[in-house]
Structure 1
Amino acid sequence: MPTLPDSEIHALMRAEHGDPFAVLGPHETAEGLEVRALLPGAQAVAVMHASSGWPLATLERVPGSDLFAGLVPAAPARIGYSLRVTWAHHTSDIADPYRFGQVLRDMDVWLLAEGTHLRPYEQLGAHFREMDGIKGVAFAVWAPNARRVSVVGNFNNWDGRRHMMRFRRECGVWEIFAPGLATGDVYEYEILSSKGEVLRKADPFGFSAQLRPDTASVVQPLPGVAAVPPGRAAANDRHSPITIYEVHLGSWRRKNNGHDWLDYRELADSLVPYARDLGFTHIELLPVSEHPFDGSWGYQPIGLYAPTSRFGTPGDFRYFVETAHAAGLGVILDWVPAHFPTDAHGLGQFDGTALYEYADPREGFHNDWQTLIFNYSRIEVRNYLVGNALYWLERYGVDGLRVDAVASMLYRDYSREHGQWVPNAYGGRENLEAIAFLRRMNHVVGVERPGTMTVAEESTSFPGVTRPPADGGLGFHYKWNMGWMNDTLSYAGIDPVHRKHHHRKVTFGLMYAHSENFVLPFSHDEVVHGKGSMIGRMPGDEWQKFANLRNLYGYLWAYPGKKLLFMGSEFAQYAEWNADKSLDWHLLSHAAHQGVHRLVRDLNNVYRHFPAMHELDCDGGGFEWIVHDDTAQSVFAFIRRARDGAFVVVVCNFTPVVRNGYRLGVPEPGSYREVINTDNGVYGGSGVGNGTLSSEAEPQHGRAQSLLMNVPPLGTVMWVLATENESP
């Protein structure tokens, strides 16, 4: 009989033992080496020599329990043994998880405790490993306040007594090596809280997860480090053309009459060539991290390390990224480190305490989204998130992260009334811990994965969002220009007859256009929740709607800043975006929609072809007004310049009136040709154009040379010197 007291046996049987390795497995006793195994459901257990397979001993059941124990020959058992277990209907040989040593190395324990482990995903979670010549999976999970943690799954009948874990008090991590597991095995952590609650949690570091409504994590190998294709880093540079096609994978296109999603590989073979053909440089994906609720579009993730299984396996997702790279396209992921949902299997109250979230709901609960806010004051939480950023960039080779809801992270009073928020240590409203996290994340990304980009969705005037952390900034490479977007769409929605009264909505943005490195976003947020589609927001009759939209796109591509357009907007989808159905691809059989589609392709090509259109997007030297005060006619004109002085002249007419004989001052004498005219008949316009014009020595707009042109109705025209003999 075993040397264990009844209290230990009862604790094991109730799965309440906080130190199972102290009592299970091989242990020296006064009588010799005793092996103990807790195997609920077993009828008999024998200890077998690992290499020869010869029996060493038969373990006896402790009366009234599922604990088996017995003395074994010490020398062969120390070399290694397995357990031959007779169950009700079969016999199996298993390796005893309690005969293996610690999973985490001392250095990893130190770095995890310090919160400076750059790649915590290499140690935490589920990892294939070989220990003492036995293959299996090493599990490790941070749950410092738990009384007991077990890994449960299909491999142990979801019984929390079978794989109770070892607690590494130094870093608050529970660990165990589970022999024999394979890719595809499903698991969760069963956690006994300090209050006696039994919780079931998905793995925060799970590399794959079941599709909702199932909640378990799935054993998958850690993806290898992705190589950086030549030229990818330069493609993200602020002097390079960046024009982004934003996509929700579940509704871009569907199959089987709209009932089924395309998988990652099907999307790679259809979405990637489509975006490339349209001339985009990057595809931005709404969050692909695993999430339980389709209606969140991925913005309420639970599996931050798991590509959603809606569209296939992690390997399938990596194939998508690699296919995009092979086609010359970058991939940007929407990333959500601001908040997470309250689902029971998620991060909330992970070990029975507010571990990942702030405990005080005035800090830790989003009233707008009914979600929990990450506790950025905890070094382990910051490390979890920084590691996650690096994981997507390094292990899947994505080119950038667009960080969602940054404004909600920066301010403690975000969307809160007086008295509903907790000031920082200095009595202010800024979330200093979140700011420190963002700076560290951007610093780590910049050092460890140079050439990738981070983009902030930040809707306030917080200073220095795209300034380096060393200079007091947040360290993002780009920031969404939400102010420009709101002003521009507001202006575009006004009846042209009244636009002269709202002239400043166009000119004001140039006051701050180069205060940050901006992306100009016409994103998913602008075509949902009752806002209507892009074409639906335009005023006027059918012809004017399309003309207004083409003009708006011409203005977007000409304006300083990188470009972003949400799917469906490139062919003027009528309906507001619906995440539960495919885009209305049938519209491309109609000429007006074909025209917008062709214009987007041509705008992308001109933007990429002429350095003046992109090289100084983020530099004040790349923009110069020619006409900013023609209020009566709602005409604007400006120059875009390249670093070598080459230029493009842009004229925008925001009324449906043709401006015949409009004299425009130009920078240099010469012949000028139109490279874009959004009123061109090939786009569905009225065909008012000029072809090639020669400048005249007649001063206008403070310039010695001028062109006498016809400015098309609701049209944008882009001019280059005819000596630029290359065509886009």
Structure 2
Amino acid sequence: MTHLPAEAYAIIEGRHSDPFHYLGPHKENDRTVVRAFLPDAVKVEAVDDHGATTTLERVHQSGLFVGALANGSTKYQLRAKFGDHVVDLEDPYRFPPLLTDFDLYLLGEGTDQRIYDKLGAHPRVIDGIAGVAFVVLAPNAKRVSVVGDFNFWDSRRHPMRVRGVGYWELFVPGAIAGNHYKFDIIGPHGQVPLKSDPFAFSAEVRPSTASIVLDETKVPRPRAAPDGINALGKPMSIYEVHLGSWRRKGANEWLSYRDLAETLPKYAKDLGFTHVEFLPVNEHPFDGSWGYQPTGMYAPTSRFGSPEDFAALIDACHAEGLAVLLDWVPGHFPDDPHGLGQFDGTALYEHANPLQGRHMDWGTLIYNYGRTEIVNFLVSNALFWMDRYNIDGLRVDAVASMLYLDYSRAEGAWIPNKYGGRENIEAIEFLRRFNREVFGKFPNATTAAEESTSWPQVSRPVEFGGLGFGYKWNMGWMHDTLNYISKDPIYRKYQHNDILFGLQYAFSENFILPLSHDEVVHGKRSILGRMPGDDWQRFANLRAYYSFMYGHPGKKLMFMGCEFAQEREWNHDHSLDWHLLEQEKHAGIHSLIRDLNTLYRDTPALHELDCDPAGFEWMVTDDANNNVFAWIRKGNTPRAQCLVVVNFSPNVYRDYRVRVPFTGKWREALNSDAAHYGGGNVGNSGEVTATGLVPELSLTLPPLAAIFLVPEA
């Protein structure tokens, strides 16, 4: 064997940090010397673009071959013999760099918001040769190799070159869409567990964890949702769905994205919802996290099918006129060995200090929002879903945990910001940038914050000091009103302020009123399960509460199953209890939701000024003893008004007087006590007339019910 330099042994042993320095073609004394490392090959020839063949010398028994091309060309193929088989293959180390200097500049300053076009795995044709371009960020790695179906998962075969401040790249000729792959990394302290690609567009079904090469050109972009569907003045009624448990088939099997595309959009449209919101669809290893602990931020979960199948579901929703919102989790990620944690052998995506980098409640890791590359990773991910899949908005999970450095931490167990405060300055700037980029590039999209504290101006523009979200979930409304409605009516007069208090801040943000998945799990019972009284009262209470929600200022969100009064708590491992719709009392709730959505959508007063104090006026606030509330909702025109009266007592009140702005006939547009919904049919015979110098209605208020009245034109 020829005496070999040290870097040859680095190649052979799979630890070379710059394989292009040694492998591939190199000019030496007017010759083109080719070095190729092909483990298990017994003979290798180089065939140049003129057809001349050079036999390369085997200089090490492991499979290292060296030789000079006959005519000095740098374009060639390798012809390798493995046992009795001869294979023609391209040498990855003869191809030019993948990232340009301008790419590296933008990546370095964090201003390339389409980095998913550069990083990850992309089928490409370079110099007429088809293959896959792999790029990954690992700035503290000593060596990175891509391993997969195309190289027997052998880390010695495809070590990558490092560019810029730690972007490793390699074009692998012959690799194709559908190949499984990971990154094999040697970090500062030694070998790192095989890592999935942070930019993988597809992944294996858990418990397998490999990334899958996707040809993005084969994924059709779904059609767009109707223009303006997210606007403040438009109705927004959101059906929140966990795809794995909405319905199941056969032996408790998931519906696929294609199955869901055939049923879910039509169902949601039939019930009058304007939006569907999916619990996180990003790839995640544990079903019980419901997607809130993602490992593949760029990959729709493979549980239900391929990216093409996911695109078909979005397209089907848009075809029915429904907007699609996704839950998005930029606040934390799990520490599974194949994931982002200690990605290059150091704390790359997360903070190194556990007082900043680990959520104690959830056992997860926290993104380092002070690092340019990580902010770019997250902002680009938000834009990716809107760009590639025409998603209409993102609901950002657990925003409070991002805003506060001391979130759920004991005294002394957190690190103050540079001013000594508890605000996470880097996270605040990240959220502002995220919202600026989303609304700047996708003006028809929206964002919503699940923010459970009184942080100011969450849904106000960044230029005015806000965080820039389109909407904020009204967690206070949810907790206060559920507390009120869960009390026996005889005690509700003591909780009267639970209803009134929400209107003191109802227009401080652009609010969504959520009855979300979090309210029907972990021993909280279903929404129906919180209702007091006998069976009739429970369902009447529920009808009144839902009607109160639709009459209240703010957009609406309802978790699946609530629309037909699911009795038991939600269980992500099983389908909803669809058989309940065979019972009249559950079917009545179902019909009520359809009619409430129709009323909300078709009545301008109930949605045009949802987020404006000019759209609301109290009529009755002081009748705690009778558990009655009344208010007027207003639209953009003077007669666009709707009177909402809610009786949260089991008593019928006759000749109940409520002041209104107009004399004349007021039509009873909806009565939640209608027999059609399972009620007793107590009401106002369809209309009532307002009379007097100060116009007043004499109403019959049904028990545990709400009525909506609109002035006749």
TM-score by length of 1: 0.96
Q: By how many angstroms is 1:527 displaced?
A: 0.2
Match of 1:125 in 2: 120
Q: By how many angstroms is 1:199 displaced?
A: 2.8
Instruction: Please say if residues 233 and 452 of structure 1, whose CA atoms lie closer than 8 Å, have aligned partners that are also in contact.
Output: no
Match of 1:145 in 2: 140
Q: By how many angstroms is 1:672 displaced?
A: 1.0
Instruction: Please say if residues 150 and 161 of structure 1, whose CA atoms lie closer than 8 Å, have aligned partners that are also in contact.
Output: yes
Q: By how many angstroms is 1:229 displaced?
A: 5.5
Q: By how many angstroms is 1:105 displaced?
A: 1.2
Match of 1:596 in 2: 589
Q: In the alignment, which of 74, 85, 88 is matched to residue 93 of structure 1? A: 88
Counterpart of 2:244 in 1: which secondary structure? helix
Match of 1:507 in 2: 500
Instruction: Please say if residues 224 and 318 of structure 2, whose CA atoms lie closer than 8 Å, have aligned partners that are also in contact.
Output: no
Match of 1:16 in 2: 15
Instruction: Please say if residues 23 and 36 of structure 2, whose CA atoms lie closer than 8 Å, have aligned partners that are also in contact.
Output: yes
Q: In the alignment, which of 456, 469, 475 is matched to residue 476 of structure 1? A: 469
Match of 1:211 in 2: 205
Q: In the alignment, which of 171, 174, 179 is matched to residue 168 of structure 2? A: 174
Match of 2:623 in 1: 630
Match of 2:109 in 1: 114
Counterpart of 1:664 in 2: which secondary structure? strand
Rounded to whole Å, the distance in 2 between the matches of 1:665 and 1:223 is: 61
Match of 1:538 in 2: 531
Instruction: Please say if residues 226 and 397 of structure 1, whose CA atoms lie closer than 8 Å, have aligned partners that are also in contact.
Output: no
Instruction: Please say if residues 223 and 396 of structure 1, whose CA atoms lie closer than 8 Å, have aligned partners that are also in contact.
Output: no
Q: By how many angstroms is 1:2 displaced?
A: 6.7
User: Which residues in structure 2 correspond to 1:69-468 (within 5 Å)?
Assistant: 69-75=66-72, 77-78=73-74, 80-168=75-163, 170-222=164-216, 232-257=226-251, 259-468=252-461
**Aligned alpha-carbon RMSD (Å):** 1.4
Counterpart of 2:245 in 1: which secondary structure? helix
Q: Which residue identity lines up with residue 95 of structure 1 in the other structure? A: E
Gaps of 5+ in 1: 724-728
Q: Deviations over 1:244-274 (max 9, x none)?
A: 00000000001114x2111111101001100
Q: Which residue identity lines up with residue 364 of structure 2 in the other structure? A: T
Rounded to whole Å, the distance in 1 between the matches of 2:2 and 2:623 is: 95
Q: Which residue identity lines up with residue 103 of structure 2 in the other structure? A: D
Rounded to whole Å, the distance in 2 between the matches of 1:697 and 1:204 is: 67
Q: Which residue identity lines up with residue 93 of structure 2 in the other structure? A: Y
Match of 1:609 in 2: 602
Counterpart check, 1:491 vs 2:484: yes
Instruction: Please say if residues 564 and 589 of structure 2, whose CA atoms lie closer than 8 Å, have aligned partners that are also in contact.
Output: yes
Match of 1:59 in 2: 56
Q: By how many angstroms is 1:407 displaced?
A: 0.3
Rounded to whole Å, the distance in 2 between the matches of 1:55 and 1:224 is: 38
Counterpart check, 1:41 vs 2:31: no
Q: Deviations over 1:460-491 (max 9, x none)?
A: 01011011111111000000000000001110
Rounded to whole Å, the distance in 1 between the matches of 2:709 and 2:450 is: 33
Q: By how many angstroms is 1:31 displaced?
A: 7.3
Q: Which residue identity lines up with residue 367 of structure 2 in the other structure? A: F
Counterpart of 1:234 in 2: which secondary structure? coil
Instruction: Please say if residues 696 and 706 of structure 1, whose CA atoms lie closer than 8 Å, have aligned partners that are also in contact.
Output: yes
Q: By how many angstroms is 1:691 displaced?
A: 2.3
Match of 1:721 in 2: 711
Instruction: Please say if residues 225 and 319 of structure 2, whose CA atoms lie closer than 8 Å, have aligned partners that are also in contact.
Output: no
Instruction: Pick closer, same or farther for the CA change 1:103–1:696 going to 2, 3 Å.
Output: closer
Q: By how many angstroms is 1:91 displaced?
A: 2.2
Q: Which residue identity lines up with residue 90 of structure 2 in the other structure? A: A
Q: By how many angstroms is 1:82 displaced?
A: 1.1
Q: By how many angstroms is 1:148 displaced?
A: 0.3
Match of 1:726 in 2: none
Q: By how many angstroms is 1:173 displaced?
A: 0.2
Q: By how many angstroms is 1:225 displaced?
A: 9.8
Rounded to whole Å, the distance in 1 between the matches of 2:171 and 2:264 is: 41
Q: By how many angstroms is 1:8 displaced?
A: 1.3
Sequence identity (%): 56
Instruction: Pick closer, same or farther for the CA change 1:693–1:322 going to 2, 3 Å.
Output: closer
Q: Which residue identity lines up with residue 68 of structure 1 in the other structure? A: F
Instruction: Please say if residues 599 and 678 of structure 1, whose CA atoms lie closer than 8 Å, have aligned partners that are also in contact.
Output: yes
Instruction: Please say if residues 137 and 166 of structure 2, whose CA atoms lie closer than 8 Å, have aligned partners that are also in contact.
Output: yes
Instruction: Please say if residues 184 and 193 of structure 2, whose CA atoms lie closer than 8 Å, have aligned partners that are also in contact.
Output: yes
Instruction: Please say if residues 652 and 703 of structure 2, whose CA atoms lie closer than 8 Å, have aligned partners that are also in contact.
Output: yes
Runs of 4+ displaced beyond 4 Å: 1-4, 223-231
Instruction: Please say if residues 232 and 451 of structure 1, whose CA atoms lie closer than 8 Å, have aligned partners that are also in contact.
Output: no
Q: Deviations over 1:585-625 (max 9, x none)?
A: 00000000000000000000000001100000000011100
Counterpart of 1:695 in 2: which secondary structure? strand
Instruction: Pick closer, same or farther for the CA change 1:280–1:461 going to 2, 3 Å.
Output: same
Instruction: Please say if residues 225 and 394 of structure 1, whose CA atoms lie closer than 8 Å, have aligned partners that are also in contact.
Output: no
Rounded to whole Å, the distance in 2 between the matches of 1:593 and 1:310 is: 31
Instruction: Please say if residues 244 and 563 of structure 1, whose CA atoms lie closer than 8 Å, have aligned partners that are also in contact.
Output: yes
Q: By how many angstroms is 1:230 displaced?
A: 6.5
Q: Deviations over 1:479-526 (max 9, x none)?
A: 000000000111010011100111000000000000000000000000
Q: Which residue identity lines up with residue 94 of structure 1 in the other structure? A: L
Match of 1:708 in 2: 698
Rounded to whole Å, the distance in 2 between the matches of 1:647 and 1:685 is: 26
Counterpart of 1:15 in 2: which secondary structure? coil
User: Which residues in structure 2 correspond to 1:613-692 (within 5 Å)?
Assistant: 613-645=606-638, 646-692=640-686
Instruction: Please say if residues 269 and 320 of structure 2, whose CA atoms lie closer than 8 Å, have aligned partners that are also in contact.
Output: yes
Q: By how many angstroms is 1:14 displaced?
A: 1.3
Rounded to whole Å, the distance in 1 between the matches of 2:351 and 2:226 is: 38
Instruction: Please say if residues 222 and 315 of structure 2, whose CA atoms lie closer than 8 Å, have aligned partners that are also in contact.
Output: no
Which of 194-203 and 576-585 deviates more? 194-203
TM-score by length of 2: 0.98
Q: By how many angstroms is 1:233 displaced?
A: 3.6
Rounded to whole Å, the distance in 2 between the matches of 1:399 and 1:661 is: 47
Q: Deviations over 1:69-89 (max 9, x none)?
A: 1111244x32x2111111135
Q: By how many angstroms is 1:24 displaced?
A: 0.1
Q: Which residue identity lines up with residue 115 of structure 1 in the other structure? A: G
Instruction: Please say if residues 2 and 70 of structure 1, whose CA atoms lie closer than 8 Å, have aligned partners that are also in contact.
Output: no
Rounded to whole Å, the distance in 2 between the matches of 1:289 and 1:370 is: 19
Rounded to whole Å, the distance in 2 between the matches of 1:412 and 1:682 is: 51
Gaps of 5+ in 2: none
Rounded to whole Å, the distance in 1 between the matches of 2:91 and 2:181 is: 18
Q: By how many angstroms is 1:639 displaced?
A: 0.4
Rounded to whole Å, the distance in 1 between the matches of 2:612 and 2:284 is: 39
Match of 1:68 in 2: 65
Instruction: Please say if residues 673 and 705 of structure 2, whose CA atoms lie closer than 8 Å, have aligned partners that are also in contact.
Output: yes
Instruction: Pick closer, same or farther for the CA change 1:707–1:223 going to 2, 3 Å.
Output: farther
Aligned residue pairs, count? 712
Which of 40-49 and 544-553 deviates more? 40-49
